[in-house]
Structures are given as structure tokens and as C-alpha cells.
Amino acid sequence: MSDPRGEASVQGRPSEGQALVKTLAEDANRRERSRNVRALRRLGPFVAAHWGDATLAGLFLLVSSSATLGITGAVRLLVDHLTGSTAEAAARAGVNRWFLVLGAVALLLALATAGRYFFITKLGERVTADLRKAVYGHILTLDPAFFLKTRTGEVLSRLTTDIQIVETLVGTSISIALRNLVMLVGALALMLLVSARLTGLVLLLIPLVIVPLFLFGRRVRRLTASTQDQFAGAVGYAGETLDALETVQAFGQEGAAAASFGEAVEAAFRTSLRRMAARAVMTALVIALVFGGVVAIFWLAVHQALSDHAWGALIQFAFLAVLAASSVGQLGETWGDVQKAAGAMERIGEIMDSRPGVKAPAKPVPMPKPPRGEVAMEGVTFAYPSRPDLPALNGLTLRVRPGERVALVGPSGAGKSTVFRLLLRFYDPDEGRVLVDGVDLRDADPAEVRARMALVAQEAPLFSGSAADNIRFGRPDADPAAIQAAVRAAQAEGFLNALPQGLDTPVGERARGLSGGQRQRLSIARALIREAPILLLDEATSALDAENERLVQKALDEAMQGRTTLVIAHRLATVLKADRIVVMDEGRVVEQGTHNELVGKSGLYARLAALQFGEAA
């Protein structure tokens, strides 16, 4: 079936790269500018699903942070012991004891840090895997209308690059942020106990640090989202050109395509460079303010210690101040990661918020059993979302009896492939009804409807894996005997048996290791193995040579027995045996009948037949 978006031209123009960059920039600017960390709330259910790992990670985090703070207390006691007036032997014994305490605390810190790292990393990996599965599963539920607006490459970018950013946040940055937050709070509490006056001075520094964090954090977030938008657009463009690589090379446009992609990547890099500069300035301000203030406070603390000889308290306060300053600095670093992940999560959320226009109703009407294979369209009018002012079907009425073989013919753009799309319920009609076995498809579960149909598309899309895997895609529970029967029916046994491993031979990405005719026969075998009551053939023999077309047509004739079959064909020789030929033009049925009847009417079909068969028509 032809793409309703139309074929994209791959011929480069001098301004194509600039146009692509401009389009990507406009897409980024159209996005809401008030991105914030609330987008990360979407991660809540994924984390809650693994509360055990999250709890253990939090427990080890508290233990490791407490151990780090405990070291400062042990150091203070050691210094007080050394500067006291105890006897030398007693002092020596006390030193050994306090160093043992320091060693024990350090060992506890090491074990707790290892536990924290293991469980937080495990949690991050698990949440990321669940998120990736959830996003991909949701993408599969979206209807083709979504992909008329969003390129596949952009969707893949969100599925990979954006989720990797979120993985960095959950698996690393959140742990670092929480650890430093606990360390900051704990250090400030202990500092308050050591010297309330000096701690008050430290607290005065906090607003000076928070202001640049928020001011530059918003800019970092916006620039991160813009970078990801532009990069996703570039990946989408690359996907389009790689899909049409042979055409790009045939027209000699490799340089133009590479230049366009390069300009898009450079635009994303320039935006990323501004993000890095903003984050660097933010980090420099935080560090300068924190450590500048700490040095000033140390100056006051040393003068106080010189007067009252409280060197242990001074040393502990110094350690605690360094820990607090370091924690604030690292919080500034991780805040940038949080902003970056918020932008990525919002882009992921845009996909998760997308809802298919076609979905199962709350209480679907069950399809009748056994299936009859009856198809009907009643006054159907439909226009694709990408071109709402140009109806593809315009008041189409068509009824196909169970077991009837009906051919749809007509000029390109007559609406033949659109009939298949509505039958498969990729779209719903704007007006009228589409019925299968008497059930309006809008009232039925799309999965149940599609289970009654087998499609052989014009382009025969296949997948990587073996030939058997591709055939089994039509019916996953098919046994080897059923696969072999489908292969024979599709006249594919000869070339498949000639492959090095037979049916188990890998056929490469999109089965590019096979010829067009071989791919088409494999696609026919995949459709036949479904044993569906309705068979949809969209130019099913278009890629075959004359001999293979004759063999496959014979196989299809046998497969059509007892099945309702709709055939789209431009080559009229393939539809001469149809029970009825339906001629379509501009989305309407203009003629119906057998070949001889229609030729005798001297209408559109007669003109098409004359063009193909000449006087023999």
C-alpha cells in the first residue's frame, strides 16, 4: 500500500540543509517553554514497582553518609586526646584505640557505599528497562495517523537517547544528589553543635548558591530539550535517507544528504554548546561562592581556636565545612543532570500522552463465530489527517459476499489502498460505516478484526531473522509442517531450500538478502499461514517475473478457495478470474461487473483495458 504522505524526494538542493535546520529549530521552538522537573514524576510508578531495591539503596545511603560524618567525630576526639594533658603512655594507648575506631568506621563506609552503588545501579537499570518496554509497547498501539506527524527516526531517538539520559539520572545522579543532600543536612546539624555562630555564617552562604542554581538551571533545561529535539530531527532525516540509500546513490546525492545531516547535527551541537557553557558558568559560580565563603569562615574559626585552644572542634568543623561545601558543589552538578533528564522525560512523556485515534471501545462487540468473511462499506467518506481537504473515499458503498473474489481496479489515487486501511482499521471513516461479518468496526476490538484478515502488501515488508521466523510472524504457533505447507503454496520451496540453512537461513535486515520476487513469495507464505477468512492482496504478484507470477497466481487461486478475497491490481491480467471487478475513481465505485461486461460498457475499465491489452481487450 502506498504511503499517504507521498514519496519524499531525495534529490538534494543547495538550501536543503538550511531548510532542515530551520524546520528542526521551529519544531523545538513550538514546544512549551515552561519545562520543569515535574516531568520526572512520571518515573514514580516505575520506581515504586521496585520499592525493595529503592529501600535498600536508601538504607545503605543513610549508613554510608552517617559513617562519613562519624569520621569527623572520631578525628575530633583523636585530636582532643593528643592535645590534652594526659600521660604519654596513656596518650599512646588512646591513639591506637581511636585509630581502630577510625578504621572500623572506614570499613563500614566502604561496605555501605558498595551496597548503595549496587542497589541504586540495579534500580536504575531496572527502571530504565521497564520504561523502555512501556514506551515501545505504547508506540505499537499508536495508529498510522501519529506517524504522519512524527518521523520514525525521531521516535527512535526518544526511545534510545532520551531514555539513556533518564537512566543516567536514576542510576547515578539521583544517588549522588541524595547522598550529598543527606551529607549537607548532617554536616550542618553537626556544625551547629560544634559552633552555632560559625554555622550561622555558613547558612548565609546558601541563598547565594541557590540563586545561580535556579537561574542557570532553567536555561540548561531549555537548551537540553532543544538539543534533543534537533538531534532527534536529524536522526529522523538520516533514517529517511538510509531507507532510500539506493535512490540517494542512484541520483548521486550522497554529498547533499551528508551535508544536510551534517548541518542539522552542527545546529544541535551549537545548542548543546550553549547548554554546556551555561552549566559551566553555573558550576563555577557555585564553587567560587561556596569555597570563598568557607575560607572566610575558616579564618574566623582559626582565630577563635587560637584563643580557646579548641583544636579538636576546629578540625571537626573544618572537615564538616568541607563536606558541606563539597555536597553543595556536587548538588549543583547533579542539578544540571536533573534538568537534562527533565527535558528528556518530557519528550518521552509526549509520546506516552499520545493516544491512538483508533482503539478498542470500553465494551467491544464480539465478532461472530465462526467467521463468515462478509465485508461491507456503506456511504464511506474518508480523508487522511495529513490532507483533510482531499477525501480519499467519497461516499463509497461496497458489499462483498462471503467467499467472493473481488478485484479493485482504477487509476492511482482512486482510493483502492485506502479501502484496505479502513478494513484493517488503521483509520476510522469520517462518515459511513465499515462492517465485517455485520459488525461495525468502530464497535469491535481492532485486534479481533485484524485476526480475520491476511495481508500481502505491495512492498512485502519483512524482518531480520530467518525465513521461518518471517513466515511464523503470520501465526506464531505454527508448526514446521504448517510452515512447509505455506512455503509450497507460495511457490517459495525451491529458492528457500537452496539457501545454506534452508528455512533457518538468516535473510538480513528487511530480508535484503533476497530478491524482490523472493521477498514477495515469502510475504505470501506469511499471509497464507494465517488461514484467515479474508485475504487482502495489494499487488501481490507485482514483483514477480512472468513464470513466477503464473506459479504464484495458481497458488493464490487455490488459497482463495473458500475465502473472501479482495485484490488490488493495476495489471488487469491478474484479475480476469475475479467473480466481480469493482472499478474505482476519485474515491467512488463507478463500475462493477466481470471483465467482459465492463469492456462492453466502454467506460473507464474499457479504457484501462485498451491501454494494457490493445485490440485484444
28-52 pLDDT, tens per residue?
Answer: 444 444 446 777 888 888 888 888 8
Looking at the DSSP bridge assignments, the partners of residue 536 are: 455, 566
Placement of cell 542557570 in the chain: 216
Give the largest Cα separation in the chain, rounded: 125
Structural contact between residues 177 and 61, judged by C-beta atoms closer than 8 angstroms: no
Residues 532 and 240: their CA atoms lie apart, in Å, by 33
Given a cut of 50, is residue 427 above it in pLDDT? yes
Q: Please choose, from the candidates 426, 478, 428, 490, the residue with its C-alpha nearest in 3D space to the C-alpha of residue 453.
A: 426
Burial class (CB in 10 A: 0-12, 13-18, 19+), 423: buried
Structural contact between residues 520 and 547, judged by C-beta atoms closer than 8 angstroms: no
Q: What is the CATH number of the domain that holds 610?
A: 3.40.50.300
Residues 554 and 566: their CA atoms lie apart, in Å, by 16
Task: Identify the pLDDT of residue 6.
Answer: 41
Structural contact between residues 505 and 522, judged by C-beta atoms closer than 8 angstroms: no
Structural contact between residues 178 and 123, judged by C-beta atoms closer than 8 angstroms: no
Whether residue 347 is found in the same domain as residue 384:
no
Q: Identify the helix (H) or strand (E) that includes residue 4.
A: none
Whether residue 464 is found in the same domain as residue 445:
no
Q: Grade residue 476 by pLDDT with cuts at 50, 70 and 90.
A: confident
Q: Is residue 549 part of a domain?
A: no
Q: Please choose, from the candidates 166, 189, 190, 170, the residue with its C-alpha nearest in 3D space to the C-alpha of residue 178.
A: 170
Each as own residue / partner, the long-range contacts of residues 5-9 (CB below 8 Å, 24 or more positions apart, any chain) are 5/148, 5/386, 8/240, 8/244
* Residue 225: how many other CB atoms lie within 10 Å: 26
More confident residue, 141 or 239: 141
pLDDT digits (tens, 9 = 90+) for 358-375: 788 888 899 998 888 899
Please count the structural domains in the chain. Answer: 3
Residues 283 and 336: their CA atoms lie apart, in Å, by 9
Whether residue 193 is found in the same domain as residue 270:
yes
User: Left if phi > 0, otherwise alpha if psi is -120 to 50, otherwise beta: which for 531?
Assistant: left
**H runs (alpha helix) in 142-173:** 144-149, 152-157, 163-168
Mode of pairing for the β-strands spanning 588-593 and 580-585: antiparallel
More confident residue, 165 or 256: 165
Q: What is the DSSP string of 23-63?
A: HHHHHHHHS-S---GGGGGGGHHHHHTTHHHHHHHHHHHHH
Q: Grade residue 583 by pLDDT with cuts at 50, 70 and 90.
A: very high
Q: Residue 404: how many CA atoms within 13 Å on its side-chain side? A: 17
Whether residue 433 is found in the same domain as residue 569:
yes
Give the mean model confidence (pLDDT) for residues 69-84.
Answer: 69
Range of the domain at 380: 371-452+534-540+564-617
Share above pLDDT 70 across residues of the chain, in percent, rounded to a whole number = 77
Task: Identify the pLDDT of residue 548.
Answer: 67
Give the mean model confidence (pLDDT) for residues 12-40.
Answer: 52
Q: Grade residue 8 by pLDDT with cuts at 50, 70 and 90.
A: very low
More confident residue, 404 or 174: 404
What rounded mean pLDDT belongs to the chain? 78
Whether residue 200 is found in the same domain as residue 56:
yes
Whether residue 421 is found in the same domain as residue 293:
no
Task: Identify the pLDDT of residue 94.
Answer: 60
Burial class (CB in 10 A: 0-12, 13-18, 19+), 63: middle
Q: Is residue 88 part of a domain?
A: yes
Q: Please choose, from the candidates 571, 563, 551, the residue with its C-alpha nearest in 3D space to the C-alpha of residue 612.
A: 571
pTM assigned to the model: 0.66
Instruction: Using alpha carbons, list the distances in angstroms from residue 212 to 35, 204, 207, 282, 332.
Output: 18, 15, 9, 6, 9
Q: Grade residue 81 by pLDDT with cuts at 50, 70 and 90.
A: low
CA angle 35, 36, 38 (to 5 degrees): 125
Looking at the DSSP bridge assignments, the partners of residue 439 are: 436
Given a cut of 50, is residue 12 above it in pLDDT? no
Phi, then psi, of 535 in degrees rounded to 5: -115, 125
* Residue 270: how many other CB atoms lie within 10 Å: 13
Q: Is residue 137 part of a domain?
A: yes
Mode of pairing for the β-strands spanning 564-568 and 534-538: parallel
Q: Grade residue 212 by pLDDT with cuts at 50, 70 and 90.
A: low
Given a cut of 60, is residue 122 above it in pLDDT? yes
Q: What is the CATH number of the domain that holds 215?
A: 1.20.1560.10
Structural contact between residues 171 and 125, judged by C-beta atoms closer than 8 angstroms: yes
Q: Is residue 2 part of a domain?
A: no
Whether residue 499 is found in the same domain as residue 428:
no
Whether residue 256 is found in the same domain as residue 377:
no
Q: Grade residue 146 by pLDDT with cuts at 50, 70 and 90.
A: confident
Q: Is residue 364 part of a domain?
A: no
Give the mean model confidence (pLDDT) for residues 224-232.
Answer: 70
122-136, 140-154, 340-354, 426-440, range with the lowest pLDDT: 140-154
Q: Is residue 546 part of a domain?
A: no
Q: Is residue 174 part of a domain?
A: yes
Structural contact between residues 470 and 511, judged by C-beta atoms closer than 8 angstroms: yes
Whether residue 246 is found in the same domain as residue 299:
yes
Whether residue 211 is found in the same domain as residue 345:
yes
89-98, 296-305, 406-415, range with the lowest pLDDT: 89-98
Placement of cell 506464531 in the chain: 476
Q: Residue 369: how many CA atoms within 13 Å on its side-chain side? A: 4
pLDDT digits (tens, 9 = 90+) for 388-412: 888 999 999 999 999 899 999 988 8
Q: Is residue 8 part of a domain?
A: no
Task: Identify the pLDDT of residue 31.
Answer: 45
Grid coordinates of 268: 544541535
Q: Grade residue 15 by pLDDT with cuts at 50, 70 and 90.
A: very low
Task: Identify the pLDDT of residue 378.
Answer: 92
Given a cut of 80, is residue 455 above it in pLDDT? yes
Q: Please choose, from the candidates 208, 189, 207, the residue with its C-alpha nearest in 3D space to the C-alpha of residue 199.
A: 189
Q: Identify the helix (H) or strand (E) that includes residue 265.
A: helix 254-308
Whether residue 305 is found in the same domain as residue 386:
no
Give the mean model confidence (pLDDT) for residues 459-464.
Answer: 77
83-87, 168-172, 208-212, 297-301, range with the lowest pLDDT: 83-87
Whether residue 379 is found in the same domain as residue 520:
no
Given a cut of 60, is residue 614 above it in pLDDT? no
Share above pLDDT 90 across residues of the chain, in percent, rounded to a whole number = 9
